[in-house]
């Protein structure tokens, strides 16, 4: 192994585990640091999450990116042994009749293959799900649910000895050296050093940055609720598919019937709230009329996690920009912007980490290895971690680099 092919990765959630496995696959040696005693204990610790792409009528870059990521994630999941998941199909139910029309028009404009998505009218949607619904919706026949903890464990197993895990270790400080990076704990003990350092520690990344480059990550609190069974279940066949609208519902086959999730921007409180269980019961009622009847929110248990989201809701992936001198600011572009050697991020997976993580990890590994990239250049730019720094420069929000 070339001595340059060594990386330190901070954070063992979906992001950190995915990039560790992709580098290990290329023969790199990875040291993975996690403050919890096991992987996938924070945002990536829900029993199941939904695998579903974003669709927009104008097929905006975020939608194209999510489609590429979704298709790649499906391929990876099919190949990976040991992951609990099911491509059981997802129905994205329309909010109302007007939204049904928009869903139809979107599919007419995009002309996507029915293997990816089709529109089911109200009657067809009810026939597919086997229960009364409020409206029809988009049907993603290969969408489904994934257990993120099992995905992280499967990726770590695949990485094998090339990934050395360091649990119950909190990285407190980074330092650049002549040939790479060193990381330290809060007692200033040296934890490790390598030519490459990857921050995959979600919301905690900004505080570790050695220079003031803005990442604009926002915490968004989310609470899911577990149900033992759906009200009125005895009169219907068991739920076999995932349902989505403003919330989502996973079928019993996923291990627990999960209803999710609350969405509180700027909130990092990890305490469970009765009001959020009540909100989740409302989401359930929207998804499956009658299914929440008689269920007391006080009887519910659940889990709280913090999503970490960039302002524009797409991930931050790549090498961090170096602060610019006042002289260089005016001509700066993403292509010409200087970068901090060896300091990379895989952050901002937000509410779609299961969709984004596999392909953006493959992208970052390709960038580090100097290989052809697995995404079109426009989408690579779209998730460049320098984009907010560049925007700040262009808006002239700051008068000199020291303010950034
Ligand atoms: C309620 C809820 C529902 C969701 N539903 C879905 C869904 O249906 N579909 C979907 O695709 N996505 C969903 N998501 C989003 C998905 O879970 C996240 O995008 C994903 O888990 C983020 O992974 P991550 O690795 O970036 O963050 P995390 O899993 O939070 O991992 C970051 C890790 O870094 C560690 N860390 C932080 N600082 C340090 C440090 N200094 N030293 C060492 N370790 C450190 C943390 O302990 C943590 O383990 C949901 C999220 C929530 C909260």
Digit-coded pLDDT (tens) for 173-226: 999 999 999 999 999 999 999 999 999 999 999 999 987 788 889 999 999 999
Residue nearest to atom 47 of ligand 1 (CA): 35
Distance 14 CA to ligand 1 centre (A): 7
Q: Quick one: average pLDDT of 309-327?
A: 91
What percent of the chain is modeled with pLDDT above 90?
85
The best mutation among 18, 20, 49, 271 to test binding of ligand 1, ranked by most ligand atoms within 8 Å of the C-beta, falls on: 49
Dump pLDDT digits (tens) for 338-362: 999 999 999 999 999 999 999 999 9
Q: Which CATH class is domain 6-44+149-216+312-403?
A: alpha beta
Label residue 330 by pLDDT band (50, 70, 90).
Answer: confident
Angle between helices 353-369 and 148-159 (to 10 degrees): 20
Q: What is the pLDDT of residue 233?
A: 67
Q: Which residues pair with 51 in a beta bridge?
A: 144
Q: What is the pLDDT of residue 326?
A: 67
Q: Is the pLDDT of residue 399 over 50?
A: no
Rounded to an integer, what distance in angstroms lies between the CA atom of residue 374 and that of residue 33? Answer: 27
Distance 197 CA to ligand 1 centre (A): 19
Dump pLDDT digits (tens) for 360-397: 999 999 999 999 999 999 999 999 999 998 888 877 64
The best mutation among 11, 155, 219 to test binding of ligand 1, ranked by most ligand atoms within 8 Å of the C-beta, falls on: 11
Question: What token pair was written down for 285?
Answer: 């009622």
Assess whether the C-beta atom of 171 lies below 6 angstroms from ligand 1. Answer: yes
Distance 26 CA to ligand 1 centre (A): 25
With beta carbons less than 8 A apart as the criterion, state whether 55 and 102 touch. Answer: no
Of the candidates 165, 198, 163, the residue with the CA atom closest to the CA atom of residue 183: 198
Distance between start and end Cα atoms, the chain: 38
Residue nearest to atom 33 of ligand 1 (CA): 11
Q: Is the pLDDT of residue 325 over 90?
A: no
Dump pLDDT digits (tens) for 139-173: 999 999 999 999 999 999 999 999 999 999 999 99
With beta carbons less than 8 A apart as the criterion, state whether 390 and 329 touch. Answer: no
Of the candidates 348, 361, 375, 359, the residue with the CA atom closest to the CA atom of residue 28: 361
Residue nearest to atom 50 of ligand 1 (CA): 351
Assess whether the C-beta atom of 30 lies below 6 angstroms from ligand 1. Answer: no
CA distances from 364 to 15, 323, 341 (A): 11, 21, 14
List the alpha helices (DSSP H) in 28-121. 61-79, 97-110
Assess whether the C-beta atom of 286 lies below 6 angstroms from ligand 1. Answer: no
Q: Which residues pair with 193 in a beta bridge?
A: 182
Q: Please report, for the chain, the start and end positions of each structural domain, with discontinuous segments joined by +.
A: 6-44+149-216+312-403, 85-145+220-310
Residue nearest to atom 12 of ligand 1 (CA): 352
Dump pLDDT digits (tens) for 26-74: 999 999 999 999 999 999 999 999 999 999 999 999 999 999 999 999 9
State the average pLDDT for the chain. 94
What percent of the chain is modeled with pLDDT above 70?
96
3-state secondary structure of 378: helix
Q: Quick one: average pLDDT of 294-301?
A: 95
Distance 147 CA to ligand 1 centre (A): 13
Q: What is the pLDDT of residue 142?
A: 98
Assess whether the C-beta atom of 36 lies below 6 angstroms from ligand 1. Answer: yes
Preceding peptide of 102 cis, ω within 30° = no
ipTM of the complex: 0.99
Q: Quick one: average pLDDT of 104-133?
A: 97
Q: What is the pLDDT of residue 394?
A: 78
- For 58-91, b/e burial (b = at least 16 CB within 10 A) is eeebbbbbbbbbbebbbebbeebeebbbbbbbbb
Q: Which residues pair with 309 in a beta bridge?
A: 218
Q: What is the pLDDT of residue 402?
A: 41
Q: Quick one: average pLDDT of 9-16?
A: 98
Q: Is the pLDDT of residue 273 over 60?
A: yes
The best mutation among 353, 354, 358 to test binding of ligand 1, ranked by most ligand atoms within 8 Å of the C-beta, falls on: 353
Distance 350 CA to ligand 1 centre (A): 8
Assess whether the C-beta atom of 243 lies below 6 angstroms from ligand 1. Answer: no
Q: What is the pLDDT of residue 238?
A: 86
Assess whether the C-beta atom of 197 lies below 6 angstroms from ligand 1. Answer: no
Write down the CATH superfamily of domain 85-145+220-310.
Answer: D-Amino Acid Oxidase, subunit A, domain 2 (3.30.9.10)
Residue nearest to atom 41 of ligand 1 (CA): 171
Residue nearest to atom 46 of ligand 1 (CA): 11
Of the candidates 402, 393, 398, the residue with the CA atom closest to the CA atom of residue 330: 393
Q: What is the pLDDT of residue 396?
A: 63
């Amino acid at each position: 192994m070339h001595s340059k092919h060594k990386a330190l990765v901070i954070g063992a959630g979906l992001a950190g585990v995915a990039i560790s496995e992709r580098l290990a696959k290329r023969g790199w040696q990875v040291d993975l640091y996690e403050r919890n005693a096991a992987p996938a204990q924070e945002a990536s610790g829900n029993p199941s999450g939904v695998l579903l792409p974003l669709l927009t009528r104008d097929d905006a870059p975020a939608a194209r990116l999510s489609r590429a990521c979704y298709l790649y994630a499906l391929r990876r999941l099919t190949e990976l042994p040991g992951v609990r998941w099911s491509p059981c199909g997802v129905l994205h139910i329309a909010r109302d009749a007007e939204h049904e029309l928009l869903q139809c028009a979107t599919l007419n404009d995009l002309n996507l293959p029915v293997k990816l998505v089709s529109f089911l009218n109200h009657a067809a949607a009810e026939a597919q799900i086997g229960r009364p619904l409020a409206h029809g919706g988009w049907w993603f026949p290969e969408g489904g649910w994934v257990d993120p903890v099992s995905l992280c464990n499967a990726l770590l197993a695949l990485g094998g000895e090339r990934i050395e895990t360091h649990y119950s270790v909190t990285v407190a400080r980074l330092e650049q050296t002549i040939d790479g990076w060193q990381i330290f704990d809060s007692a200033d003990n040296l934890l490790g050093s390598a030519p490459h350092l990857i921050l995959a520690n979600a919301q905690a990344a900004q505080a570790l940055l050695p220079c003031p480059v803005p990442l604009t990550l926002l915490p968004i609190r989310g609470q899911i609720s577990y149900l033992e069974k759906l009200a009125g279940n005895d009169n219907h066949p068991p739920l076999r598919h995932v349902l989505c609208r403003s919330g989502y519902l996973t079928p019993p086959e996923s291990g627990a019937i999960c209803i999710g999730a609350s969405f509180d921007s700027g909130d990092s409180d990890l305490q469970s709230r009765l009001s959020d269980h009540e909100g989740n019961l409302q989401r359930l009622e929207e998804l499956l009329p009658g299914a929440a009847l008689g269920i007391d929110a006080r009887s519910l248990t659940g889990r709280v996690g913090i999503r970490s989201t960039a302002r524009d809701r797409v991930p931050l992936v790549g090498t961090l920009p170096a602060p610019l001198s006042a002289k260089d600011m005016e001509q700066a572009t993403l292509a010409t912007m200087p970068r901090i050697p060896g300091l990379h991020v895989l952050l901002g997976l937000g509410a779609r980490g299961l969709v984004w993580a596999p392909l953006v990890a493959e992208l970052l590994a390709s960038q580090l290895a100097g290989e052809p990239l697995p995404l079109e250049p426009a989408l690579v730019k779209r998730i460049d971690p320098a984009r907010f720094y560049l925007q700040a420069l262009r808006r002239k929000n700051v008068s000199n680099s020291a303010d950034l």
